[in-house]
Amino acid sequence: MASSTATAQIGVTGLAVMGSNIARNFARNGYTVALHNRSVAKTDALLAAHGNDGSFVRTETIEEFVGALEKPRRVLIMVKAGEATDAVIEELAGAMEPGDIIIDGGNALYTDTIRREAAMAARGLNFVGAGISGGEEGALNGPAIMPGGPKESYESLGPLLESIAAKVDGVPCCTHIGPDGSGHFVKMVHNGIEYADMQLIGEAYHLLRDALGLGAGEIADVFTGWNSGELESYLVEITAQVLQQTDAKTGQPLVDVIVDAAEQKGTGRWTVKSALDLGVPVTGIAEAVFARALSGSRAQRKAAQGLASGTLAEKPTDTAQFTEDIRRALYASKIVAYAQGFDQIAAGSTEYDWDLHPGDLATIWRGGCIIRARFLDRIKEAYEQNPALPSLILAPYFREAIEEAVDSWRRVVSAAVRLGIPVPAFASSLSYYDALRAERLPAALTQGQRDYFGAHTYERTDAEGKFHTLWSGDRSEVSAE
Ligand code: NBP
């Protein structure tokens, strides 16, 4: 139903896949939704197909759109991230009044959100950068929503967003994250974790296929089994479904006819770039981003076909034992990937003074989003018990889980190396774990080298202060304070 009175509680501009589904979600939850899209055809297509979902207000111009909204006006932008978002914000800001709220629900880079929030605040407008996860299906039926921006705007906006968000145990997968760019920052890290999770699942699949020689259908059954245990998650569930799919054209498993070159839209890369700036070792996420890049280097891979493998080991003979080893290695590596992601969130919170609460994030990621998983309940509990955890790995539940898995983890990584099967994320997660728990790292030697060639100084284990050795002189040590 369409009307032209100024009664809409929320407006959505940008009615492609995500925007149209979120608009329908608001309407289904009883809100009157003003609709706007640059090209009016999308607005009309939405109304023609789903106008009966609830109460919509059809608009063509920005002025008409803004005029259709109750005050304070709330507009959700769901357009392509980047310049398109800036263009839409500028147009909206010109038509809105102080106290109105602009929400950017696109996948914006968090530093853009920081810039936009400051610019809008200077004009008296509230700007909320909201990370939204769940894809097309989540947008319609309940996404996870990570809104940043001014706390005051959440008072007016929160009830609307919480009503359309996914719910787990009655708790909405939406909460105010923190100031300015924090919502988009945590959404970015969420996507980075999603990359790592997918890569780890991919490595498990690779081992089941090439180390154990299982077919796609058999591997689907393995993942289905895993999905009823501690690995239960949306990604494991859809992995089984993808592996079960038969290609109509060839009769082969679909996965065997899909080109093995993974694409990426950029949020994984952003996560790694930000982690580098913050100095946080998100090795699992970085390996996942690089693995996608390597898979996509098709010409280079083709040229490298036939490179010697060296002598390879025999394949494991105990299928059941090795499958269980892979399951445990996957779980342990996944814990590491999440631990690293939460470290990045803590570092971002400190850097930007956001006062983020990791337990809240684990809570809202339990539903709606791509990384939703049973295991997020454990993360939530871990931060409830100790909000100042130095690493998720050190929470008693996860420590025990890794300690139970570590022998399997080592067997899987060493078998993969001996079989010539690449497992960058499994291996780097295990190395990270070993580095974290090591009593003494080779960084002492690095410091010695740095002092040798650059007089960068070093600290001693047995004295306070900074020291330098006169490497090109008599090699005595001097205080560098
Ligand atoms: P797209 O990212 O494909 O964007 C298409 C929309 O942007 C259309 O409504 C288009 O209008 C509009 N638009 C463009 Br392009 N340039 C514009 C401009 N200069 N001025 C005004 N409007 C402009 O849509 P989507 O896949 O629905 O995603 C929307 C946002 O949600 C993106 O930021 C995306 O990263 C994010 N997101 C997507 C997913 C997902 O699973 N797809 C998940 C989570 C978040 P037109 O119809 O006139 O061309």
pLDDT tens digits for range 145-158:
999 999 999 999 99
Other CB atoms within 10 Å distance of the CB of residue 295:
15
CATH topology of domain 10-176: Rossmann fold (3.40.50)
Strand partners, 147: 130
d(CA 52, CA 29): 13
> Which residue among 24, 79, 265 is best mutated to probe the pocket of ligand 1, counting the most ligand atoms within 8 A of its Cβ?
79
State yes or no: pLDDT of 3 exceeds 70. no
**311: buried, middle or exposed (CB in 10 Å: 19+, 13-18, 0-12)?**
exposed
Average pLDDT, the chain: 97
pLDDT in the model for residue 1: 41
Q: By three-state DSSP, how is residue 9 classified?
A: coil
Residues of the chain with CATH 3.40.50.720: 10-176
**465: buried, middle or exposed (CB in 10 Å: 19+, 13-18, 0-12)?**
exposed
Atom of ligand 1 nearest to the CA of 16: 27
Q: What is the pTM of this model?
A: 0.96
d(CA 184, CA 129): 6
Atom of ligand 1 nearest to the CA of 14: 9
State yes or no: pLDDT of 2 exceeds 80. no
d(CA 358, CA 377): 12
pLDDT in the model for residue 6: 72
Cβ(92)–Cβ(62) under 8 Å?
yes
Q: Tell me: the pLDDT tens digits for 177-210?
A: 999 999 999 999 999 999 999 999 999 999 999 9
Q: Tell me: the pLDDT tens digits for 14-65?
A: 999 999 999 999 999 999 999 999 999 999 999 999 999 999 999 999 999 9
CATH architecture, range 187-437:
Orthogonal Bundle (1.10)
Residues of the chain with CATH 1.20.5.320: 442-480
Separation of CA 6 and ligand 1 centre (Å):
26
Separation of CA 136 and ligand 1 centre (Å):
12
pLDDT band per the 50, 70, 90 thresholds, residue 5: low
Give me the torsion for CA of 13, 15, 19, 20, rounded to 10°.
130
d(CA 344, CA 365): 16
Tell me: domain 442-480, CATH 1.20.5.320, correct?
yes
Residues of the chain with CATH 1.10.1040.10: 187-437
Separation of CA 147 and ligand 1 centre (Å):
18
Mean pLDDT over 153-181 rounds to 96
Q: Which residues contact 462 (CB under 8 A, 6 or more apart)?
A: none
Q: Crossing angle of helices 110-122/83-95, nearest 10°?
A: 20
Q: Which has the minimum average pLDDT: 210-219, 371-380, 408-417?
A: 371-380
Q: Tell me: the pLDDT tens digits for 63-99?
A: 999 999 999 999 999 999 999 999 999 999 999 999 9
**435 labeled binding residue:** no
pLDDT in the model for residue 332: 98
Q: Which residues contact 80 (CB under 8 A, 6 or more apart)?
A: 14, 106
Residues in the chain: 481
